[in-house]
Amino acid sequence: MTLTIGQAAPNFTLTNQFGQPVELASFKGKKNVVIVFYPFAFSGICTGELCAMRDDLASFQNDKTELLAISCDPMYSLKAFGEAENYTFNLLADFWPHGEVAKAYGVFAEERGMAIRGTFIVDTEGNLRWQVVNGPGDARNNVDYKAALAAL
């Protein structure tokens, strides 16, 4: 599936690393949302990307913006990953039905059972405002997200 800028972002409810449900629609009218799909917890590039966001968290999670990081890992792996790396943002498990949300956003690699590196910015009205999709081995640049958020 290919998403188009301006269209309503596919809604979802996923469990975070603490077993709590997080629904995209709950931020409508309140916050912009940065959705970051990544392949696997504890993998090198994924850890590096999320640590960079952790180290500059005020740019991605504040009164106007919420950060949601999504992988197809189970909740328990995400809990261990979050604790190991001191992540205070939501790590969401798109584990079962496996990759359902990644499929809705067009970033599920069926043959490998994982999400590829897709990033989406959803505005306060629930519409897709920005997106970038990188291959599994291609790290993203946080400067791009900051510029897209500043344009909202």
Question: What are the residue ranges spanned by the domains of the chain?
Answer: 42-63+77-91
36 bridge partner residues:
69, 119
Q: Looking at residue 139, what is its pLDDT?
A: 77
Per the annotation, the verdict on 46 as an active-site residue is yes
Give mean pLDDT in consecutive 10-residue pieces for the chain, a chain of 152 residues.
90 98 98 96 88 93 96 97 97 96 96 93 97 82 82 84
Q: Looking at residue 1, what is its pLDDT?
A: 61
Both tokens of 96, joined, read: 């079962």
Q: What whole-number distance in Å separates Cα of residue 109 and Cα of residue 52? A: 24
Q: Considering the entire predicted model, what is its pTM?
A: 0.93
71 bridge partner residues:
93
Q: Looking at residue 14, what is its pLDDT?
A: 98
Q: Which residues 6+ apart lie within 8 Å of 141 measured at CB?
A: none
Q: Looking at residue 63, what is its pLDDT?
A: 96
Question: Is 38 within 8 Å of 137 (Cβ atoms)?
Answer: no
Task: Specify the amino acid at residue 18.
Answer: F
Q: Looking at residue 46, what is its pLDDT?
A: 85
The single residue of 46, 93, 114, 121 carrying the catalytic annotation is: 46
